[in-house]
Amino acid sequence: MPDDKQQVLRELTFGQRVAEDEAARLSAYFVETDQWRRVWDGQVDIVYGAKGAGKSAIYATLSQRDEDLFDRGILVRAAENPQGAPAFQGLVADPPDSEDQFVFLWKLYFLSLLAQVLEDYGVGGEQAKQLADTLRDVGLLHPRSSSLARLVRSVLSYVRQWFNAPESIEGTVALDPTGVPTGLSTKITFRQPTAQEQARGKVYVDDLFELANEALRQDDYHIWLLLDRLDVAFAESRQLEANALRALFRVYLDLVPLDRISLKIFLRSDIWQSITTSGFREASHITRELTIRWDSASLLRLVVQRLLQNPALCRFYQVNTDEILSRTTAQRQLFEKVFPSQVDTGPNKPKTFDWCLLRTRDGTKNNAPRELIHLLSAAREVQLRRLELGEPQPPDHFLFERTAVKDALPEVSEVRLTKTLYAEYAEYRQYLELLEGQKTDHSAKTLSSVWSVSEETAQEIANRLVEIGFFEKRGEQALPRYWVPFLYRPALQLVQGSAELGPGAGADEE
């Protein structure tokens, strides 16, 4: 049994912060919350969550458990690349011209994936064959080995051809070398064709979804098409992102009546908010949804579950994994064996786990697993570095000292500021950088001075920074105050206290 804390720390890992980076081990770490079970049971189609909240973990776990889903009669297909370049990334340089074109693009893309799945599993009989023949006839049935990006390009080409000259997308009669008719060449249309157009081989795109649905019903199967990483796919253009995602949700609503086909969409909450800000009437019809939220108990279990994946740690503390995971009190006891009781000492200071939650919470008052795991991983690196330099081991049964946890926060703060806020909201970077070295509690008046803008403009900017989680809005609605969470303070070297001259105004809360 190891008794060297330094060796235990060397072998210790909390896992990767990003689900895509640890797909192989995710099943061991994954916390099956009630929210997860609702998705697993098919009660939820749309999963919202802040960046790092665990959307991709749910997505990846669904993909990994495809055999279990198959046993329930559910076929799963990823409609976006889980890693690497997004399938839709090429649209940034060459986007569809309108939201309507995006609607048609999504529909043809999903139809192609449905036809692939039906062929792969040999499901649907004659109806599946009819769907496959139709898509193959227009060049939109690619082999499974073909990349999703290539399929997107093919679909976009067809969409542009239809929108630019719909009258040219006509079904034709195919002739053999002797001139004898051999059948119709089918064309897919975005509007309901007339009887004459149907006779010439035109097929309405929505009728093909009905055909796919009937093929699945025939053999008693369902298909789930999974969509994640949409924030990455369209990140370079806000307008493109809005058009693409509004069109996606229009298509989702069109497909809701189909009982055998489901889109499972994983989307960041702030992106959903941004695309609905200017009005989206269809939003009220989206009901099979949930927003991922983590409470203290579920985050504690997540951390402890990751601790228990380390054999050296389990031997060091001689723990029974099943016993610990069965009781919340046992989970907290293990955490308090590994970490000191407090980071900042004092009768009114929080316990270490609560301190970690307070320091990794953004202005929306939400905690995401990503920053919490990052903080603990960084603390491990700090503690191990101290031991390698000859510092004494932590006292008693602890693996970590208070200073190791505290000194880990600046790295987390810097990454969150630069790789989330600066990277994704570059238009606000200048205002955030001007706050460097300032106080942590502001009014519109003090912000107008820092930013050299009018109070009205300062309040507009500040309210937007509230929406993206940089500020927490406090005080009265008429005279709001803008408070910077602990998460962002080290990176900007902020000074605790109010920017107003009044003594004691805007005191921090633990």
CATH number at residue 465: 1.10.10.10
Q: Which pair of tokens denotes residue 479?
A: 């005279």
**pLDDT in the model for residue 317:** 95
Q: Which pLDDT score is estimated for 508? A: 61
Cα gap 321→106, rounded to integer Å? 46
- Both 117 and 137 in one domain: the answer is yes
Counting the structural domains of the chain, the total is: 3
Three-state DSSP state, 468: coil
Q: Of 421, 444, 475, at which residue does a domain stop?
A: 421
In this structure, the answer to whether residues 358 and 280 fall within a common structural domain is: no
Residue showing tokens 């995710």: 26
Beta strands 202-204 and 187-189, pairing class? parallel
Number of residues that this document lists for the chain = 510
Neighbours of 290 (CB within 10 A): 17
| Residue where one domain finishes, among candidates 387, 421, 455 | 421
Distance CA 205, CA 105 (A): 11
Segments forming the whole domain that contains residue 127: 45-287
Rg, the chain, Cα only? 27
How far apart are the C-alpha atoms of 32 and 47, rounded to whole Å? Answer: 15
* Residue pair 473/466 in contact by the 8 Å Cβ criterion: yes
38 assigned to some structural domain: no
User: Would 23 be classed as within a structural domain?
Assistant: no
CB atoms within 10 A of CB 455: 14
Domain boundary among 371, 393, 421: 421
HSE of 164, CA atoms in CB hemisphere, 13 A: 8
H helices of 41-182, where? Answer: 55-64, 66-71, 99-121, 125-137, 148-164
By C-alpha distance, which of 258, 269, 288 is closest to 230?
269
Structure tokens at 471: 């500020």
pLDDT tens, the chain, 510 aa long: 345 899 999 999 998 765 555 555 555 666 778 888 999 999 999 999 988 888 888 888 898 899 999 999 999 999 988 888 888 888 888 888 888 899 999 999 999 999 999 999 999 999 999 999 999 988 999 988 889 999 999 999 999 988 886 554 554 444 344 443 333 456 888 888 888 777 777 889 999 999 999 999 999 999 999 999 888 877 777 788 888 899 999 999 999 999 999 999 999 888 888 777 767 777 778 889 999 988 999 999 999 999 999 999 999 999 999 899 989 999 999 999 999 999 999 999 999 999 999 999 999 998 989 999 999 999 999 999 999 999 999 999 999 999 999 999 999 999 999 999 998 889 999 999 999 999 999 999 999 999 999 999 999 999 999 999 999 999 888 889 999 999 999 999 999 999 986 444 545 666
User: Which residues make Cβ contacts (< 8 Å) with residue 257, sequence separation at least 6?
Assistant: none
* Angle of the 352-359 helix axis to the 328-338 helix axis, nearest 10: 90
Region of residue 125 (phi > 0: left; psi between -120 and 50: alpha; otherwise: beta): left
| Residue 398 near residue 340 (C-beta atoms within 8 A) | yes
pLDDT at 26: 55
Q: Cβ neighbours of residue 240 under 8 Å, at least 6 residues apart?
A: 91, 92, 95, 234
**306 and 221 share one domain:** no
Q: Alpha carbon 457 to chain centroid distance?
A: 31
User: Which secondary structure element, helix H or strand E, spans residue 222, and what is its range?
Assistant: strand 222-227
The CA distance from 115 to 124, in Å, is 10
Residue 68 buriedness (CB in 10 A; 0-12 / 13-18 / 19+): exposed
Could you tell me if residue 77 is inside a domain? Answer: yes
Burial label for 194, CB within 10 Å (0-12, 13-18, 19+), is exposed
Q: What CA–CA distance (Å, rounded) separates 168 from 165?
A: 5
HSE-CB of 414 using CA atoms within 13 angstroms: 7
Burial 319-328 (b: 16+ CB within 10 A, else e): beeeebbeee
Say how far apart CA 380 and CA 261 lie, in whole Å.
45
- Residues 314, 283 share a domain: no
**In degrees, to the nearest 5, what angle opens at C-alpha 17 toward C-alphas 246 and 230?**
15
Residue 88 resides in a domain: yes
Q: Are residues 401 and 431 in the same domain?
A: no
Q: For 276-321, what is each residue's pLDDT tens digit?
A: 776 777 777 888 999 998 899 999 999 999 999 999 999 999 999 9
Q: Are residues 240 and 351 in the same domain?
A: no
Residue 180 and residue 144 share a domain: yes
Looking at the structure, tell me whether residues 190 and 142 fall in a common domain: yes
- If asked whether residues 229 and 304 sit together in one domain, one would say no
DSSP state of 265: E
Could you give the count of Cα atoms lying within 13 Å of 218 in the half-sphere of its Cβ?
15
Domain membership of residue 24 (yes or no) is no
Q: Is residue 446 part of a domain?
A: yes
Within this chain, do residues 123 and 233 fall inside the same structural domain, yes or no?
yes
In this structure, is residue 40 part of a structural domain?
Answer: no
Is residue 508, in this structure, part of any structural domain at all?
no
* Same domain assignment for residues 250 and 149: yes
113 closest CA partner among 16, 224, 199, 271: 224
Residues 6+ apart with CB under 8 A from 195: none
Confidence at residue 281, expressed as pLDDT on a 0 to 100 scale: 76
Same domain, yes or no, for 237 and 191? Answer: yes
